[in-house]
Structure 1
Amino acid sequence: MKIMLVFPPKGFTSKEMLPPLGLAYVAAVLEKNKYQVEIVDALVENYSWNKLKKKFTEEKPDVVGITALTENRFEVFKTAEIAKNSLPNSTIVLGGPHVFHTAQDTLEHIRPVDVIVRGEGEYTMLELCNKLKNNEPLDDVNGISFRKNGEIIHNKPRELIRNLDELPFPAYHLLKFEKYNFKLDVPGKGKLRAASIVTSRGCPFHCVFCETSLVFGKRWRARSPDNIIKEIEFLQDTYNIKALWFNDDTFTLSKKRIIDFCNLLIEKNIEIYFTCSIRVDTVDKELLKLMKDAGCYKIFYGVESGSQKILDDVVGKRITIKQIRQVSKWLDELGIIKNPSYVISFPEETYEDAMKTLQLMKEIGGEPSFSFLKIYPGTDVEHIARQKGILPKDFSWSLKSSMKEIETIPIVHGNAPIFRDKLSWEEISEIAVQWARMRKYPLAKKIPSILKNLKSREDLERYLSIFKAYVKSFLKRDKTVGG
């Protein structure tokens, strides 16, 4: 049986690409069980739709697995359609975060899709392929949704993988690794060839906007330090990787694990520079210093809002502004680059709340990340958006016609809906422009990409609002400078 795992073309415009680790993990488990597997990253290989169709017809896989994100879901659906038209007797499978809470909606509206894998895909996909190979019913494959006699069936969820160390490393050899040009800019070292690693899954917290605990569970599971070190050594030896992005939601959830991991890096004299994500309530200065000594040069941490009221009553973050300031101070003292992350346009957030976020952003400094609140399936934000009419009652995640009634910013967030409640677009634009000026973000240079990605008159109006705020900001600055 031939299996092709696909990351769809189009959908994203980033110039620096990372390997699709989810597909690579699924491929590794399938290969370990003697299946013939191919990964097609149609995005990094810059496939046209015609080239993708040709790939399907030439290779003739028995199973096509496609990973789906909310941002690129329509490219996913088109990929599924091309696959089914090219391979009518093959099984088309969707997996990934987007379909976890949209299985019913997707199977109702996207006819080319035969099966949906919900949640962690490694062992679900393996069992599914075993059943398909032996022409057996799918009724007892936990973690899938599918059609049977015209009815949509949702099998019970699959248990989460308890021991992540039992998984093989991602099947890097099935990727055209030389095409991934991801680099990290390390002070004093320049831009280094980099990769990403996932060392844990799940999250015990439940932030209003986040889908991690929904897809990967509230029970946090982690790889051992020894297991992580082996993958780092493999990446260094095989692909000359000099820097890493630990792509965990919270790398520091277990203090002991990070202490053991950092000590191992130091003891083994492994020279690797890394960046990671933390929560401000999971670190102290001593731990941060050890991380710095082991090679950590930058840390991403979710501030979300400068309003304690929003953090407490809306986000459910369970951190304080005082903790944020303290950790920021420690990072400055240790010489670790700060990468605080901010979000605006939360439910019930006022202009006054948003200005508190902007003020805190300016106070903390560093290299702040900034985004508008996005709506993801199954999250509390989605439920609130439906209650408030931000998403219409008949909104479908699978129909393009539903996109006419929601707000998006395609150049930034793809096809993910934007949650906008109390703030006007003029107010949102003002804050976005001030962030861009802080980061010296070249908004003017983005105009060609913006025009290329326009999908509606409403998109144009939103971009014009941002552009007006941009011009107004510079006129105000010039007037101030001129006296």
Structure 2
Amino acid sequence: MKEIKTLVLQPPISDEVMWGRFKKGSGYVPPLGIMYIAGYMESKGFSCDVLDCLVEKYKISDLKKHLLKNKYDFIGITCMTNSALDAFASAKVAREACPDALIVLGGVHPTALPEQTIRECSDADFVIIGEGEQTFVDLANCLQEEKSCHTVDGLAYRSKEESKVKYTTPRTPIPDLDALPFPAYHKVPMEKYIPHVTQYIDLPNYPILLQRGCPYQCTYCDHGAVLGRKIRSLSVERAIENIRYLVKNYGARGVYFLDSVFTVRRDFIMKLLKELQHQDFKISFACNARADQLDIELLTELKKTGCWMIQVGIESGNIKSLELIKKASYSSAFKPDPNDPNGRPYLLNKYEQEIRNCQKLGIQVMASYILGLPGETIEDVETTISFAKKLATETALFFLPVPYPGSHLLTQAKEDGGLKENMSWKDYSAVDYSNPVYVNPKIGKEKMQELLTRAFNEYYKQPKVIYRNIKKITRMKDITKYVKAFRALTGV
């Protein structure tokens, strides 16, 4: 059989595209998606290199030199919407350096827009739709055995004979995550990874993924496009084994659970927390959660186990906007709270209650908000800013709407009439709004930008926000971290 030389890579992407206004706090984390592919390839007997052009600070010229030197037979490139042009450029130099190689694109952008990706990136032979591990191995087997790749499940490709994009049989998501090997940590320079300054309290700190999929249908999110709606989890034992591996082999003192909603399976998380409390190692950790899934019992266990920060998507202080973006899956969330004499909506009360519980327990909260959603007025945006200031979490992130491919918000933005025409994929940078993809017709571009700037300035000048953050400074090294975080968030 033919021996093949394989590479999966993260393309060169500028800090401006990656972080926009937050680039002063920029950081890098291991690219778990392609590392999982490399680990799975190795478990099936294939060697597979991993190149993270971000952490290596490679420019496109450096990537070309690397490819010319190594002459790969099979190259996989991960692709996000805001960096799609960078992925396409990487495919182009890959074709120039390795003209006979099989080149594939994968990730959220090609999965959401397979036909468009194939048409826009002529240097890619295939697009992988959905999870990539099994598809990548199947393609490697075809190359090794010198068979046609067009029978492999989970692909889109350009049919030269029929002059159209064709699809193979859809790939079924991997049902048992325990069957996957760990990401190929040994293939990347783990010592170089330091996350964005807002995402850690202790170093080394590494990301970890315990669950794939998200059952919720928030209109602004495209998470389910690649990983699906059904939740699939590692076993508690395998999850702890992965954390232990990072502690033992890379000295991890903290982790960030990347699960879209860490608390989505309460029984699983409660069992995991209980087991972690009895291990012979201690870690700090942060996670993503929905505020309406939190309660004092769960938060107490999170704090006891080492949770220092929870990132929650509040998104709006307007109940009509929360309903528009389907921020809750139960209709009663948007109705008056029966226990509130003023008839305030249940969801807004729940948000405030659980933020207060976090503050009482000493868990920091990073809350995110979207200003100027379809249908909103200037007054609605001001209501959200006021609500954010009332909650006064340690960190608040304010965004303008970014309707990503694969999200229902894209349809809503089109219907609203505010979606930009003739846009570039670089316009999709979620944190740089000099040329926004969507402009709310009721507010206007300049006013939206003004409100965004005002939200950050007013929020971080609040004495209670300043006080809450100063209280968290207990070590000399915290001072540098908090100064850097303040500069990243405010642009100072």
TM-score, normalising length from structure 1? 0.84
Deviations 1:150-178 (A, max 9, x none): 43211132111111111111000000112
- Structure 1: stretches of 5+ with no match in the other structure: 396-401, 442-469, 475-483
- In structure 1, give the amino acid aligned to 2:373: F
Structure 2 CA distance, aligned partners of 1:87 and 1:389? 44
Q: Which residue of 2 aligns with 1:157?
A: 170
Structure 1 CA distance, aligned partners of 2:238 and 2:434? 35
Structure 2 CA distance, aligned partners of 1:414 and 1:286? 43
Q: Which residue of 2 aligns with 1:46?
A: 57
- In structure 2, give the amino acid aligned to 1:412: D
Q: 1:427 aligns with which of 415, 429, 447?
A: 447
Q: Which residue of 1 aligns with 2:179?
A: 166
Shift of 1:182: 2.4
- Choose 319-328 or 284-293, whichever is displaced more: 319-328
Q: 2:403 aligns with which of 352, 375, 386?
A: 375
Structure 2 CA distance, aligned partners of 1:75 and 1:383? 26
Q: 1:208 aligns with which of 219, 222, 228?
A: 219
Shift of 1:423: 2.2
Do the aligned residues in 1 keep the contact of 2:204 with 2:254 (CA within 8 Å)?
yes
Change (3 A) 1:415 1:239: farther
Structure 2 CA distance, aligned partners of 1:40 and 1:407? 26
Deviations 1:235-260 (A, max 9, x none): 11111110111011100011111111
Deviations 1:211-255 (A, max 9, x none): 112221111111122111111111111111101110111000111
Deviations 1:123-168 (A, max 9, x none): 1111121112222223331111112334321113211111111111
Shift of 1:191: 4.4
Q: Which residue of 1 aligns with 2:138?
A: 127
Structure 1 CA distance, aligned partners of 2:440 and 2:371? 9
Shift of 1:26: 0.4
Q: Which residue of 2 aligns with 1:460?
A: none
Change (3 A) 1:433 1:151: closer
SS at match of 1:5: strand
Q: Equivalent residues in 2 for 1:430-469 (5 A)?
A: 430-438=450-458, 440=460
Q: 2:321 aligns with which of 307, 310, 317?
A: 310
- In structure 2, give the amino acid aligned to 1:82: V
Change (3 A) 1:439 1:313: closer
- In structure 1, give the amino acid aligned to 2:365: K
Change (3 A) 1:121 1:432: same
Structure 2 CA distance, aligned partners of 1:38 and 1:414? 37
Change (3 A) 1:313 1:392: closer
Change (3 A) 1:228 1:421: farther
Structure 2 CA distance, aligned partners of 1:388 and 1:243? 43
- Choose 45-54 or 150-159, whichever is displaced more: 150-159
Do the aligned residues in 1 keep the contact of 2:156 with 2:167 (CA within 8 Å)?
yes
The reply to whether residue 347 of structure 1 matches residue 358 of structure 2 is: no
SS at match of 2:203: strand
Change (3 A) 1:106 1:421: same
SS at match of 1:138: coil
- In structure 2, give the amino acid aligned to 1:182: P
Change (3 A) 1:154 1:439: same
Change (3 A) 1:425 1:147: closer
SS at match of 1:192: coil
Q: 1:325 aligns with which of 336, 352, 356?
A: 352
TM-score, normalising length from structure 2? 0.83
Q: Equivalent residues in 2 for 1:29-108 (5 A)?
A: 29-108=40-119
Do the aligned residues in 2 keep the contact of 1:144 with 1:154 (CA within 8 Å)?
yes
Q: 2:392 aligns with which of 350, 353, 365?
A: 365
Q: Equivalent residues in 2 for 1:224-235 (5 A)?
A: 224-235=235-246
Structure 2 CA distance, aligned partners of 1:238 and 1:278? 28
Structure 1 CA distance, aligned partners of 2:194 and 2:289? 25
Shift of 1:420: 3.5
- In structure 2, give the amino acid aligned to 1:348: G
- The structure with higher relative contact order (CA 8 Å, sep 6+) is 2
Superposed structure 1 runs of 4+ greater than 4 Å apart: 183-187, 406-411, 413-416, 438-441
Q: 2:9 aligns with which of 6, 9, 13?
A: 6
Change (3 A) 1:53 1:27: same
Structure 2 CA distance, aligned partners of 1:186 and 1:130? 39
Do the aligned residues in 2 keep the contact of 1:72 with 1:415 (CA within 8 Å)?
no
- Structure 2: stretches of 5+ with no match in the other structure: 17-22, 334-346, 462-489
SS at match of 1:373: coil
Shift of 1:416: 8.2
Q: Which residue of 1 aligns with 2:465?
A: none
Do the aligned residues in 1 keep the contact of 2:316 with 2:371 (CA within 8 Å)?
yes
Structure 1 CA distance, aligned partners of 2:373 and 2:27? 29
SS at match of 1:412: coil
Q: Which residue of 2 aligns with 1:448?
A: none
- In structure 1, give the amino acid aligned to 2:297: E
Q: Which residue of 2 aligns with 1:146?
A: 157
Do the aligned residues in 1 keep the contact of 2:399 with 2:430 (CA within 8 Å)?
no
Change (3 A) 1:410 1:342: closer
- Choose 287-296 or 317-326, whichever is displaced more: 317-326
Deviations 1:444-476 (A, max 9, x none): xxxxxxxxxxxxxxxxxxxxxxxxxx99xx9xx
Do the aligned residues in 2 keep the contact of 1:247 with 1:277 (CA within 8 Å)?
yes
- In structure 1, give the amino acid aligned to 2:389: K
Q: Which residue of 1 aligns with 2:307?
A: 296
Do the aligned residues in 2 keep the contact of 1:3 with 1:62 (CA within 8 Å)?
yes
The reply to whether residue 252 of structure 1 matches residue 263 of structure 2 is: yes
Structure 2 CA distance, aligned partners of 1:97 and 1:283? 28
Root mean square deviation, CA, Å: 2.5
- In structure 2, give the amino acid aligned to 1:422: K
Do the aligned residues in 2 keep the contact of 1:71 with 1:415 (CA within 8 Å)?
no
Shift of 1:185: 7.0
Q: Equivalent residues in 2 for 1:403-418 (5 A)?
A: 403=424, 412=432, 417-418=437-438
Q: Which residue of 2 aligns with 1:283?
A: 294
Q: 1:28 aligns with which of 9, 16, 39?
A: 39
